Amino acid sequence: MSAARVAFAQINTVVGGLAGNAAKILQAAHEAHARDADVLVTPELSLTGYPPEDLLLRPSFIDAQTQALTQLCADMAGLAGLHVVVGHAARRPDGKLCNAASVLCQGRVLGTYSKLELPNYSVFDEDRYFVAGGAPLVFVVKGVPFGVNICEDIWFERAPRAAAAAGARVLLVPNASPYNRGKQAERVQVARRSLQGTGCALVYANLVGGQDELVFDGLSFVLDAQGRQVAQLPGFAEGMGLVEVDASGKVTGVGDLPAAVQTSEQEEVWNALVLGVRDYLGKNGFPGAIIGLSGGIDSAVVLAIAVDALGADNVRAVMMPSRYTADISEIDAADMARRLGVRYDSIAIAPAFQAFESMLAGQFAGLPLDATEENIQARVRGTLLMALSNKTGRLVLTTGNKSEMTTGYCTLYGDMAGGFAVIKDVPKTLVYRLAAWRNTCGKDGEVIPERIITRPPSAELRPDQTDQDSLPPYDVLDGIMSRYMEHNEPPQRIVAAGYPRAAVEQVVRLIRVNEYKRRQAPPGPRITLRAFGRDWRYPLTNGFRETI
C-alpha cells in the first residue's frame, strides 16, 4: 500500500506580523520539501497569528492578509508535489469571516476548509469574529485521502465524522491550543475520542510561543487509526516532525522522531513562564527587564525566570530598602543577583518616604498610622522602577503572585506598577515549588539562596510583619482560591470539604472587593485553568453577596 509523507510544524508566529509569519511558513515548507514530504501542516491561523482579536474587524488587515496568502502561494510554486496546509481568515462572498485553512500546492489553492466549532468560552471569543463553516475538505496525495479539521473541531463528533464520511483516512488538525497545567494529557485524550469510529489517523500541529497573556506550548503529536501515539514534538520550542501514513491509518515515524516525554509540573510551568516573558519582551521590542528585588521568594523566582528568558545581561535588579527592611533581605537579594550575574543596584527609599510624610503631615494630623503609610512605601518603589524603565527603555516585571491578586494583598501604583506580571497566575504554594525545582534542575546550581525559600513571607512595610498577619496560611488560601475562582465551587461546598468557614468567608469577600485592583494589573502568562484576565470577567460594581 502506498504511503504519503507528512510533516507537521509547530512555529512561533506574531499576531499581525503577516510578512514574518509567511516567511516562517515558507521556511518550514522548504525544510519539509527537502525532507521529501508530500504534505506539511502548520498551526491554526498560522498566517495571521493567534488570536488576532479585533484586527479581524479592520478591513485593511483582512486585505493585507489576503495579499500575503496570495504571495505565499506564489512563493511555493517551485516546491513540486508539496501540499501545505496554511491557517488564515477567509472572507465569504457575504463579507463574513471564517477561521479557515487552505491547501496550497505548486502555486494554486487546492481547497479551503472553514472551522465548524467556534469556541466561545474561557479565553476564546471566536463567535465575535467568525461564522461557522464545516463542509468537509478531502484531498488525495499518493492514494491517501486527507481531511482537515481545525482545533476545536476535534472536541466534538461532527467535524471528524463528516471528514471520515467524505472519505478522509488521515485528519490534519491545525491548532492554536493555549497552555494550562495538565492540558496536553487532555488534548491527547480528546483526540483519541474524536477518532473512534472514523478509522482515521490524526496529525495535530499546535502553535508555540507567547501572545500577551497566552502561552502556546506546541507538543504537536500524531495518533494512528487505533489511537496509539506515534510521536510528540518537544514543548515550548519550534520544531518539525515527519511521519509516513497510508490509507489504512498506519503511521510510521521518519528519522529521529521524538516520543512523548514526561516532565514535572514545575518544569512545565517554568518553561511556560520563560517563554511568555521572552516573547512578550521580544515581540514588543523591549531591550531588557527591570525587577524590584526584595529578598523575598516572589521577586527571586521572577528574577530567575527573567534571566532564563532573556539572559543576565538583559536583566537589571534593584533593591529599594526602607527602615523596615531586614538586613538579611538585603544580603540575600545581593547574593542572588551575584549568583545570576545581573546588574544590582540599591536605592534607599527613606528620603522619598520622609518627604511624603512631611508633605502629608498636616492632612494626616491626629490620624493613626495604618496601611496608608505602608502603601506610600510601595508607591515610592513603583515610581523609582518606572523612572528607570522610562530612562532605559527596559520593561518593569512585577512580582505579585496569584494568591496576592486573589486577595488584593498588593498595592495599586506600587508593587503592581509595571508592564508584565510574570507570576500573576502562579499560586504562592506553587511559587515555592518552582523555586525548589529551579535550585535542583541541574542547570547552574542553587541560584535562589535557601534562606529566601525558608523565611516566612513578609511585605516588610511595618515592624515584624508577615503575610499571615492578614491572610490565611497559603495552603488554605490557595485551596479556597482554586475551588472558588478556578472551578466555581460554591462556598458551602468548600467549607464542607474541610476548609475553615472564616477563611472561606474572608477569601470570597476579598475576591469580590478587590476586582478594581485586578482590572488595573499588568497582563501576565496564563498557566492555570482560569486566570485573572481574559477568562475572568467579574463586574466591578457588584451587589451580589454569597452566604455560607
Question: Which secondary structure element, helix H or strand E, spans residue 34, and what is its range?
Answer: helix 18-34
Phi-psi region of 331 (alpha: psi -120 to 50; beta: other; left: phi over 0): alpha
Question: Which secondary structure element, helix H or strand E, spans residue 7, and what is its range?
Answer: strand 3-10
pLDDT of residue 461: 63
Between CA 468 and CA 472 the distance in angstroms is 6
**Closest to 403 (Cα-Cα) out of 463, 476, 308, 458:** 476
pLDDT in tens, 167-210: 999 999 999 999 999 999 999 999 999 999 999 999 999 999 99
pLDDT of residue 7: 97
Which strands sit side by side in the sheet containing 239-246, from one edge to the other?
108-114, 97-105, 83-91, 39-41, 3-10, 239-246, 251-253
pLDDT of residue 279: 98
Distances (CA, A) of 463 to 124, 163, 175, 322, 349: 46, 67, 52, 11, 16
pLDDT in tens, 348-386: 999 999 999 999 999 999 999 999 998 999 999 999 999
* Backbone phi, psi, residue 229, to 5°: -80, 120
Domains belonging to the chain, first-starting first, are 3-262 (3.60.110.10), 267-467 (3.40.50.620)
User: Grid coordinates standing for 70?
Assistant: 496570495
**% of the chain at pLDDT higher than 90:** 87
Crossing angle for the helix pair 428-440 and 265-283, nearest 10 degrees? 90
SS3 letters across 173-198? EEECCECCCCHHHHHHHHHHHHHCCC
Residue 44: is its pLDDT beyond 70?
Answer: yes
CA atoms within 13 A on the CB side of 457: 21
* Backbone phi, psi, residue 327, to 5°: -55, -40
Would you call 443 a catalytic residue per the annotation?
no
Would you call 53 a catalytic residue per the annotation?
no
Q: Answer whether the bond into residue 258 is a cis peptide, omega within 30°.
A: no
pLDDT in tens, 504-537: 999 999 999 999 999 999 999 999 999 999 899 9
Distances (CA, A) of 249 to 8, 125, 199, 323, 446: 16, 34, 7, 70, 48
pLDDT in tens, 17-31: 999 999 999 999 999
List Cβ neighbours of 428 (8 Å cut-off, separation of 6 or more).
298, 401, 402, 403, 404, 457, 474, 477, 478
pLDDT of residue 254: 86
Mean pLDDT over each residue of the chain, to the nearest integer: 94
Q: Which of 73, 98, 105, 151 is catalytic?
A: 151
Q: Which of 73, 98, 105, 115 is catalytic?
A: 115
Residue 412: is its pLDDT beyond 90?
Answer: yes
Name the band, by pLDDT with cuts 50, 70 and 90, for residue 464. low
Q: Beta-carbon neighbour count of residue 11 at 10 Å?
A: 21
Between CA 233 and CA 152 the distance in angstroms is 20
Q: Which of 24, 44, 283, 517 is catalytic?
A: 44
Between CA 121 and CA 236 the distance in angstroms is 24
Name the band, by pLDDT with cuts 50, 70 and 90, for residue 320. very high
pLDDT in tens, 97-118: 999 999 999 999 999 999 999 9
pLDDT of residue 460: 58
Would you call 391 a catalytic residue per the annotation?
no
